[in-house]
Chains A and B, each alone.
Chain A
Amino acid sequence: MSTQPELPLNESPLLAETPSRGGRTRARPVASWREHHGWSASASLRRLMSRPVGTLLTVAVMAIALALPLTFYLLLGNVQKMGEALGQNQTVSMFLQPSQGGSAAQLVAKKLRDRPDVAAVTVKTPQQGMDELAKMQGFSGALHTLEDNPLPFVLEVLPAQGVSADGVERLVTDMRGMSGVDQVQDSGTWRQRLEALLGVGQRAVLILAVLLALAVLLVVGNTIRVDIASRSEEIGVLMLVGASRAFVRRPYLYAGIWYGLFSGVLAAGFAVLVELSLADPVARLGHAYAGKLQIDVLPPWLLASVPVAAAVLGWLGARLVSAWQLRKAA
């Protein structure tokens, strides 16, 4: 060889005998471990950035899969809140015929109070009803034009605690059969239906979230699998020069984490967009319900935890696939 090192052989850092044979410096296992993590994280990020279109497509697919359950959760939360705003208690309203006066109303109220399945009865006079209406926006002007009070006596009946839905239904039927009764409105029935429906919705969101999390796992896994397959030569070389499986795997795990993190951030962004686009229509709806309604936004902790959870999913997908792929390579 024509080129000789400038240092004498025995002083050259290459050939001098030191205890660190094999290139291993045992004094700094943590530092080198940390260094390789840093290297793996940045190298895998550079690799993703070197093919932006493919990376973006993968991230977008994952983000949509994550945004779907998030959006459904948002909608569900709002429907639930709407239901709560519209009927706080399961009261049954009994409208008496306009001909019925105060004494008749008190008589009916007493009959109802005597029943074991009734907890309380409130009698609302026509004047009270009028006052309530007057408080509502837009009505006061119209009410002034009325000569008489057209409102009937109304009895708000609160069923006793522990009375079943069937029991309430029997009570309503009995109430309808009483004399001087014009109409009985059971707000409980539709609330029960809404609640049952929301229960179905919640379960559906949960199932959807699990399925779509699985989809995210599969998308990440397959992307990493293709990546590993296309780099089998590199992996072979690394193993020949003494890389442990953990060392070889590390950049791929970081790639999974990056995919998850980016798609999680994008999904949270999607969800916020949906929120913003819903805010206006819900506000208008809220107006119609006397300002009781406001959009129920996703809590910040949930939005923040989406990228974290997605990163964990990405890592898991990469971990599962790489364990299997590398065993094949070895």
Chain B
Amino acid sequence: MIRFDQVSKRYEGGHEALSQLSFEVASGEMAFVTGHSGAGKSTLLKLLGLIERPSHGVITLEGQHLGKIGRSGIPKLRRRIGMVFQDHRLLMDRTVFANVELPLMIGGMAPPERSKRVRAALEKVGLLAYERQLPATLSAGEQQRVGIARAIVAKPMLLIADEPTGNLDPTLAVEIMGLFAEFQQVGTTVLVASHDLPLIKRMRKRVVVLDHGRLVADVAAQEVL
């Protein structure tokens, strides 16, 4: 599903965020990317969504060489990836429903089917009762769940999340991670960047550890203690 082959990313100004990174994630697998801040976790996810481009190396997603996708092909790629952000990136002037509906609207789905899907996604994250509310009236954990509903509503092949529990208390964080695990169970490939090691250990999933942009450990799910 995901394949990084000798990928390096050097930002303007010379900072090397990733260097010669190679790893693979199988279809339907769930993996954590961890490491101290600045280890390159966010950069790795940004490369997958083509928010950034690698300086060297090849990234393939479902066999597709991302470097061969031009500017006009980016929207199409992003519609196949669900992205969750630490600051959830919701549109604060639109209702919860409208926020979750966005990817389907962009995808061109007919309104009746759209409503069905949005409600199912909101139900999945336990927020169906809040569909008419504005995100600002929700708690941080609820807002993050709206962000997750938006990421999964279009049934993406890949779900990526950048520090999705960064702003949440431990109980909420466990709930959110549990949600991601549920999506993996129904066949979605999930990649979560997080520095919360205790939480990651609890999840018992594969862990990829980065340090200064290099891969220093790749622990399989069975080996996580």
Interface residues of chain A, those whose CB is within 8 Å of chain B, are 1-3, 5-7, 9-10, 12-15, 17-18, 20-25, 28-29, 31-33, 35-36, 39, 234, 236-245, 247, 330
With contacts A241-B78, A241-B150 taken as known, whether A25 is within 8 angstroms of B123 at the C-beta atoms is: no
Chain A-chain B contacts (Cβ-Cβ < 8 Å), number: 129
CB proximity of B220 to chain A, nearest CB, Å:
26
CB proximity of B187 to chain A, nearest CB, Å:
7
With contacts A1-B175, A5-B124, A237-B89 taken as known, whether A14 is within 8 angstroms of B75 at the C-beta atoms is: no
Task: Tell me if A243 and B106 are in contact (CB < 8 A).
Answer: yes
| Max chain B C-beta neighbours (<10 A), residue from A9, A18, A243 | A243
With contacts A9-B186, A22-B80 taken as known, whether A240 is within 8 angstroms of B49 at the C-beta atoms is: yes
Task: Tell me if B91 and A234 are in contact (CB < 8 A).
Answer: yes
Residue of A nearest to B187 (CB): A17
Task: Tell me if B124 and A23 are in contact (CB < 8 A).
Answer: no
Residues of B within 8 Å of A, CB-based: how many?
A: 49
Q: A33: which of B75, B103, B108, B152 is its contact (CB, 8 Å)?
A: B108
Complex Cα gap A23–B123 (Å):
18
Task: Tell me if A241 and B179 are in contact (CB < 8 A).
Answer: no
Residues of B within 8 A of A242 (CB): 75-79, 103, 106-107
Residue of A nearest to B125 (CB): A1
- Please, could you name 22 A-B residue pairs with CB atoms under 8 Å apart, sorted by A? A3-B126, A9-B186, A12-B120, A12-B124, A14-B120, A14-B121, A14-B155, A15-B155, A21-B155, A22-B154, A23-B79, A25-B108, A237-B91, A238-B102, A241-B78, A241-B83, A241-B103, A242-B106, A243-B75, A243-B106, A247-B106, A330-B71
Q: Chain A interface: which of B26-34, B110-118, B199-207? A: B110-118
Q: B75: which of A9, A12, A25, A244 is its contact (CB, 8 Å)?
A: A244
Say yes or no for B105: interface residue by CB 8 A criterion: yes
Complex Cα gap A138–B177 (Å):
100
Task: Tell me if B126 and A36 are in contact (CB < 8 A).
Answer: no
| Max chain A C-beta neighbours (<10 A), residue from B91, B108, B111, B154 | B108
- Contacts A14-B117, A23-B117 supplied; 8 other A-B pairs, CB < 8 Å: A1-B126, A15-B120, A21-B156, A24-B108, A240-B49, A240-B89, A243-B106, A247-B106
Task: Tell me if B150 and A14 are in contact (CB < 8 A).
Answer: no
Task: Tell me if A13 and B108 are in contact (CB < 8 A).
Answer: no
In the complex, which residues 21-70 of chain B have their Cβ closer than 8 Å to any Cβ of chain A? 49, 51
Residues of B within 8 A of A24 (CB): 79, 107-109
Task: Tell me if A3 and B123 are in contact (CB < 8 A).
Answer: yes
Residues of B within 8 A of A12 (CB): 120, 124
Complex Cα gap A9–B184 (Å):
12
Q: B154: which of A3, A10, A23, A247 is its contact (CB, 8 Å)?
A: A23
Residues of B within 8 A of A10 (CB): 186
Complex Cα gap A213–B186 (Å):
58
Task: Tell me if A25 and B124 are in contact (CB < 8 A).
Answer: no
Nearest 9 A/B pairs, CB to CB: A32-B108, A23-B154, A23-B107, A3-B126, A14-B120, A242-B79, A242-B78, A244-B75, A24-B107
Task: Tell me if B106 and A240 are in contact (CB < 8 A).
Answer: no
Task: Tell me if B117 and A13 are in contact (CB < 8 A).
Answer: yes
Q: A1: which of B80, B157, B182 is its contact (CB, 8 Å)?
A: B182
